[in-house]
């Protein structure tokens, strides 16, 4: 009985955590696209339908929409989706953006997509990530691309600053998805470094874990 009560409360607790994070500041992020997403999507032509998992305030979504993509933007936090809608309106791309509220541990958006983006889909709460990303891969159109970018090093501004944190290698993350090799091919497995700026202006050299998977 205790376990079922905890499980029933967990989605609501996660939703409150993320919504409170956004409500606590006028803007949590700068509104710029994640660089690996911009680099990857710029190589895909023509732009088609994209799914942005854990879209936050919409920097990636709006960038994709301004570059011709039709984007379904998904997040657990209503406040984040409201800010995304405002951002899209200022950019004049509301006709190419659709927002949906989902706790991805419970529900996922329907449809098929030419690009699925999962940028830093990491949380202090339990999340069946492999299941979510496997479902995302199966939502790709033939030739479509799943782009996963995770944190690969400790960031000074993160909720977890434990220097002994172990970050899985991209090969481990790909293997965990257990995708049919006849239908899915890893296009990139890499750990590039970049200079990053935190929400309060801190800067640091960080490592990204990048996995791109193409559906054949």
Q: Which residues pair with 119 in a beta bridge?
A: 149
Contacts of 3 (CB under 8 A, 6+ apart): none
- Quote the pLDDT of residue 31: 59
Distance CA 39, CA 187 (A): 14
Locate 185 and state its tokens: 């091919």
Closest by CA to 157, choosing from 207, 209, 210, 197, is: 197
Positive or negative CA dihedral for 131, 51, 199, 151?
positive
Beta strand extents in the chain (DSSP E only) = 49-53, 70-75, 97-101, 113-119, 140-151, 184-190, 193-197, 203-215
84 CB burial (10 A radius; 0-12, 13-18, 19+): buried
Query: Where residue 12 falls among pLDDT bands split at 50, 70, 90?
Result: confident
Question: What confidence tens digit (pLDDT) does each residue in 99-108 have?
Answer: 999 999 999 9
- Quote the pLDDT of residue 1: 27
The answer, as to whether pTM is greater than 0.95, is: no
Question: What confidence tens digit (pLDDT) does each residue in 170-203 have?
Answer: 999 999 999 999 999 999 999 999 988 887 788 9
- Quote the pLDDT of residue 154: 86
Question: What confidence tens digit (pLDDT) does each residue in 202-211 have?
Answer: 899 999 999 9
165 CB burial (10 A radius; 0-12, 13-18, 19+): exposed
Residues 147 and 137: beta-carbon distance below 8 Å: no
* Strand 70-75 relative to strand 49-53, pairing: parallel
Positive or negative CA dihedral for 47, 49, 53, 58?
positive
CA–CA distances in Å: residue 112 to residues 51, 134, 195:
9, 13, 34
């Amino acid at each position: 009985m205790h376990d079922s009560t905890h499980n029933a409360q967990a989605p609501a607790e996660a939703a409150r955590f993320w919504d409170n994070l956004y409500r606590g500041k006028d803007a949590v992020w700068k509104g710029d696209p994640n660089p690996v997403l911009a680099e990857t999507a710029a190589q895909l032509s023509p732009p088609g339908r994209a799914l942005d998992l854990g879209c936050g305030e919409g920097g990636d979504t709006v960038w994709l929409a301004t570059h011709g993509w039709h984007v379904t933007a998904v997040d657990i936090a209503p406040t984040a989706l409201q800010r995304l809608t405002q951002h899209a309106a200022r950019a004049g791309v509301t006709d190419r953006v659709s927002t949906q509220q989902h706790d991805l541990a419970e529900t996922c958006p329907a449809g098929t997509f030419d690009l699925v983006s999962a940028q830093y889909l990491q949380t202090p709460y339990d999340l069946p990530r492999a299941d979510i990303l496997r479902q995302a891969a199966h939502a790709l159109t033939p030739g479509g691309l799943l782009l996963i970018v995770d944190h690969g090093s400790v960031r000074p501004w993160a909720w977890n600053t434990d220097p002994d944190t172990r970050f899985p290698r991209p090969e481990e993350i790909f293997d965990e998805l257990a995708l049919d090799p006849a239908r899915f091919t890893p296009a990139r497995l890499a750990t590039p470094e970049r200079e990053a700026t935190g929400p309060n202006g801190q800067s640091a050299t960080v490592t990204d874990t990048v996995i791109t998977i193409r559906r054949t």
